[in-house]
Amino acid sequence: MSKNYLIFIVGPTAIGKTALSIKLAQHFGCEILSCDSRQFFKEMKIGTAVPNDEELAAAKHHFIQNKSIFENYSVGDFEKEAIAKLDELFQKNHIQIVVGGSGLYVNAILQGFDDFPEVPNEIREKVRNQYEEKGLEFLQEKLQALDNNYYSTLLKENPQTLQNPQRMMRFVEVCLASNLPYSSFLNQKKNQRNFTPIIVGLEAEREIMYNRINQRVDIMMSEGLLEEAKNVYPNKELNALQTVGYRELFDYFDGKTTLDFAIEQIKMNTRRFAKRQLTWFKRNEDTIWFDFQTETSTIINTISEKIQHAD
C-alpha cells in the first residue's frame, strides 16, 4: 500500500464536517479538498454552506467556489483535477484531507469511474431538446431501445434512477455518441490510486440531525439566501441549480408557493437528502463512524493508529 494517506470526512449535511476537517488539517499540517458538488460554484455561496472567511483562512482549501454555474463541469472533470491536485499536495505532506457529502464525488477520488466517450455538444443539445419537448417517458423509451439490458437492470434494481432526467439524458447521450450500449462502458478496471484511504464518518441521532438542518436553513435565510436565489433565478434551468435550497425558492418566485411554505420545503427536502447521504456512506464498511460530538483528539488518535498500523 502507498505511504500517502488520504483522510475522508463524510456524513450528512450540517453534521460538522467542515469544523472537523479544519481541526484535522491544523493537526496534521495539511490541506483540504472539498468534494461537495455544489460548493464548486461561486454563484451559490450561501445555499451550499460554503466555509466562511475565517474557516477558509484556518486551513488551505481547494475546489471551493472555483467554477461558475455556466460551465459544464462533470464528476469526471472533477476526478481528473482532484487527482492531479492530490499528486501535487502529497509532494508536500504524505497526509491530506478530503471533505464533503457528495457520495459520487467521494467515489471519484476514492476509486475513479469507468471511462466513457466524449459526447459532442450537438448530441447533448439534441437530447436535452427532446427531453424538454417530449418529457421523461421519451428518454425511458429511448434507453430501452438503445440498451434494453441496462434499462431492465435499472427497472429491477434502481428504479428511482429512471425518474432522474439528468441521469437518463446522460445514458442516452453516451449511447448515441458511441453507437454502443451504455452498459458496455461499465465495470471496467478502475484506476490505481497512490494513497491509502482512511474514511471517517460523522453521524447523530436522527432528531438531532434534523434539528441541526432546520437551524442551518434558518441561518441561511438570515444570511441572504433569498437574494442569492433571486440573482440566479433567470438561469434556473441550469443543471447546477437543480439543487435543494434553490428549486424551492424558484417555485416561490414563480408564484407557485408562499415564502413560508418554500422554506419548510427546503428543510424537508434537506432532511430527505441527509437521509440519502447516510444510506450511501453506510454502504462502505471501511468507514469509521463517530458521533458528531466526539472529541477531536479521539478521532485524531484513531487516525494516527490506522496510519501507524499501515506503516
Binding site as annotated, residues for ATP: 11-18
Q: How far apart are CA 250 and CA 129, in angstroms?
A: 22
Other beta carbons less than 10 A from residue 94's beta carbon: 17
Running DSSP on this structure, what letter comes out for residue 67? B
The Cβ-side half-sphere exposure at 181, using a 13 Å CA radius, reads: 11
Instruction: Give the angle 304-286-278 at the CA atoms, nearest 5°.
Output: 110
Known binding residues: 11-18
Residue type, 187: N
**Cα separation, 106 vs 102, whole angstroms:** 6
Other C-beta atoms closer than 10 Å to the C-beta of 215 total: 12
Annotated binding site for substrate: 13-18
Which residue carries 429511448 as its cell? 142
Distance CA 117, CA 187 (A): 15
**Rounded to whole angstroms, how far apart are CA atoms 268 and 270?**
5
